[in-house]
Structure 1
Amino acid sequence: MDEDVLKLESQLCFAIVTAARNVVSIYRPVLEPLGLTHPQYLVMLALWEKAPQSLGELASTLAVEPASLSPTIKRLESQGRVARRRRTSDERVLDIGLTEDGRALRERALDVPRQIMERVGLSIDDVARLRDGLQPFAGGRATVAD
């Protein structure tokens, strides 16, 4: 058994990383009609929950460094979905807010979870169990890299 412990297929990290890549590839054709990449979708989800957010708050919510999030924000801004503004009470803080187009996109995105569950053949309860089972590894947050 000791010789099997270092087999790639025995590694938890490999199973999780492979599953993450596959999940992102499942989302790709569902998000494409919305004009979103998976990282952009995660940013929009966070902003649909609470907007505006400072760049730092948004990066913390998504468990990434602010510098790595900036290119995604710039792309969303060039698409007209978000707007960056300096906070009037503290001009050092850059707030990210939704534009009218960004708010309207939420309605079109409402069907994304159903489509994903359909593609992977999981029920709402199955997804909840799987997501909850990953919490010790995820720290409750998703990761974004664009």
Structure 2
Amino acid sequence: MTAQRPDLLDLEVQVCFGLVAASRRVVALYRPLLEPLGLTHPLYLLMLALWQHGRLPLHRLAELVHQDPATVSPMVKKLESLGYVTRRRDPADERTLSIELTDQGRELRRSAESIPVTMMDRLGLGEDELARLRAVLDDLIDRSRTVPD
């Protein structure tokens, strides 16, 4: 007896469904950890990029979080209103807007340091398993970039 092949249009077979469902669940688990810091998950991603790289032009910050500058700009304004970043025009090129952490933004990093370990515990993921998952996701991201729109 041969196993029947699943219908390729079954919801459970869709890569997009698995990614969206997993993303929503994981982001929801971040929420109670981020709310005390005044951050949403998208704002947290911007802060992670700034903690890692320091001052960044807006367009580079947007690239790092795989967003358009027009999407990132209002989020940066929110971070500025929270006192975590400053926005400054580059004197050498007025078209370039640089985003830089404030002292308060750098200090926030200490409060966020426990988040990755807490999330690993909540998800029951060890470091090796997390690294394998990241590698699969990175590969998927790279493959999707090579597909024409």
TM-score normalized by structure 1?
0.90
Note the residue ranges of structure 1 that are not aligned, 5 or more in a row.
Answer: 141-146
Q: CA RMSD in A?
A: 1.5
Q: How does 1:1-146 map onto structure 2 within 5 Å?
A: 1=4, 4-139=7-142
**Greater relative CO, 1 or 2 (CA 8 Å, sep 6+):** 1
Q: Which amino acid is the alignment partner of residue 94 of structure 1?
A: L
Query: C-alpha displacement at 1:138, in angstroms?
Result: 2.3
Runs of at least 4 residues of structure 1 off by over 3 A? none
Q: How many residues align?
A: 140
Q: Which amino acid is the alignment partner of residue 22 of structure 1?
A: R
% identical equivalent positions: 50
Query: C-alpha displacement at 1:136, in angstroms?
Result: 2.1
Distance 2:110 2:92 in 1: 32
Note the residue ranges of structure 2 that are not aligned, 5 or more in a row.
Answer: 144-149
Q: Which amino acid is the alignment partner of residue 67 of structure 2?
A: V
Give the number of the structure whose alpha-carbon radius of gyration is greater.
Answer: 2
TM-score normalized by structure 2?
0.89
Q: Hey, what does 2:147 align to over in structure 1?
A: none
Q: Which amino acid is the alignment partner of residue 124 of structure 1?
A: E
Matched residue SS, 2:138: helix
Q: Hey, what does 1:144 align to over in structure 2?
A: none
Matched residue SS, 2:43: helix
